[in-house]
Each structure stands twice: as C-alpha cells, then as structure tokens.
C-alpha cells in the first residue's frame, strides 16, 4: 500500500525540519511525501532540498489552506492519503505502519488520537477520539484531521476540500464523507500525531467563532439537520480535553 503524505507550508523554516524528519524516520517506507508551499521566501524550500525522500515539491501562491490541500490531492498517487502540516509530526516512528495495519478491504478511512504541545514541548491537550456512530457530528464530534487517512478513491468519488472554507474545511469534508455518505471508517485507539499549538484553528476566541460559523454552514450545505443548542452544549463540554 502506497501512502501519500501531503505537507503544506508557508514560511515554515522554524518547524519544518522536525516534520520532515518525522516522515523520513518512519519504519514504513512506501511513502510519497508531497510538499505544497505557498510561495515562501524564507528557508523553507532550502530545508526541503536537504531531504531526498520528498517525492514532489511545488511552491506558488494559493488561495488558502484548503486550496493548498487540493493541490496536494491533485499530485497524490498513493492508495491512501493523509496530511501532516509543517508544525505537526508523527507520534512515533511506527505511526504510518500502524495506519497501514488498520486498513483492510472493507476500510475506507482510519483515524486515531492526537496530542497538542506548546513551544516548550508540554502536552496541553489530548484529543482522544472514538468509534464513529451515525449522528456523532451533530454532537460536536469529529476526528482529529491530522490523524485522518482516507483512500484516494473516496476523494475521487465524493470530492475534495471546499476552498470557500477558511478554517473548517476539514470538518466539512469529514462530515460529508462520514456522516452524509457513511464511508467505512476505523478508529485506532493510539496516539498518531503530535501538533504544535498556535495554528489557525486554535489561536483565540475569534478563530473559535469562525470555526463555529463554518461548521453551521457545513451542516446546511450537506442538508444535515441538527440542534444548534445541543451542539453548542457539547462544544462546551470539550473543555475537558484541556484538563
């Protein structure tokens, strides 16, 4: 099984090397690593040149995160595709092997657990997922997108990321794949990825409100009815992940 890992970058010189080493050092080697850069003028591309395992690199201006994701999807040739951004890295050298082991002929996608760390390497949030059940998204649940690995044929059939979204396009895609179309998913109860805090989706209260607005938009576009009050209550209870 060939795994395509897409890493989007922009002025990522501070964190990129750790991400690239994380992929390079995986015990599973049938990996296609694709770098989609937004036209960085720092040392991002220079750093990439030092890693011969990288399969493809493009560097050009994009229209946002999800446009960059789609550029990576267009280049990807793997059986399964996942995303590891420039401030993320795998939890262990066996993470991709564990992802591969989880797939069987009836599995369309897998996902697992994720940890957030701060700049000092201290874990500040543990995102522990669960087996998907119909209706879960209506309760403000979603898989951790950096742990989400899906067959290429599913993207080709159900569509890519919607570039009209600025901050919750990953939510919309997984809502569409899992809740609307009911693809066959599998949960791995293991930490797969570590994510550095400070990304676009976890900066401040304004980003949280923007996410909420786009999540409501995703439900509407996919014609999935839900109770907004219950959704907000479940959102509030997610604070336990930070404790």
Give the residue ranges of DSSP H helices in 92-227: 95-102, 152-158, 169-174, 205-221
User: CA-CA distance, 101 to 92, in Å (whole number)?
Assistant: 15
* CATH number of the domain enclosing 151: 3.90.550.10
> Along the 243 residues of the chain, how does pLDDT read in single tens digits?
999 999 999 999 999 999 999 999 999 999 999 999 999 999 999 999 999 999 999 999 999 999 999 999 999 999 999 999 999 999 999 999 999 999 999 999 999 999 999 989 999 999 999 999 999 999 999 999 999 999 999 999 999 999 999 999 999 999 999 999 999 999 999 999 999 986 555 555 678 889 999 999 999 999 999 999 999 999 888 765 554
Confidence at residue 204, expressed as pLDDT on a 0 to 100 scale: 55
Q: How many domains does the chain have?
A: 1
What's the full length of the chain, in residues?
A: 243
Distance separating alpha carbons of residues 160 and 169, to the nearest angstrom: 10
User: With a threshold of 0.95, does the pTM exceed it?
Assistant: no
Q: Which domain holds residue 17?
A: 3-242
């Amino acid at each position: 099984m060939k795994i395509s890992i897409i890493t989007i970058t922009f002025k990522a010189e501070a964190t990129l090397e750790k991400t690239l080493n994380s992929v390079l050092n995986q015990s599973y080697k049938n990996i296609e690593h694709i770098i989609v850069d937004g036209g960085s003028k720092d040392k991002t591309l220079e750093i990439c040149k030092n890693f011969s395992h990288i399969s493809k690199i493009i560097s050009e201006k994009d229209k946002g995160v999800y446009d960059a994701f789609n550029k990576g999807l267009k280049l990807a040739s793997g059986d399964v595709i996942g995303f590891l951004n420039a401030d993320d890295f795998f939890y262990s050298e066996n993470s991709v092997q564990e992802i591969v082991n989880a797939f069987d002929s009836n599995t369309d996608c897998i996902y697992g657990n994720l940890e957030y760390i701060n700049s000092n390497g201290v874990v500040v949030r543990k995102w522990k997922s669960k087996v998907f059940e119909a209706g879960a998204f209506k309760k403000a649940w979603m898989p951790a997108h950096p742990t989400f690995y899906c067959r290429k044929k599913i993207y080709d059939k159900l569509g890519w990321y919607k570039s009209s979204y600025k901050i919750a396009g990953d939510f919309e895609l997984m809502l569409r794949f899992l809740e609307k179309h009911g693809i066959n998913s599998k949960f791995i109860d293991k930490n797969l990825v570590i994510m550095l805090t400070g990304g676009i989706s976890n900066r401040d209260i304004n980003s949280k409100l923007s996410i909420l607005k786009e999540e409501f938009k995703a439900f509407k576009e996919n014609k999935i009815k839900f109770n907004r009050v219950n959704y907000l209550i479940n959102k509030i209870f997610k604070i336990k992940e930070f404790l």
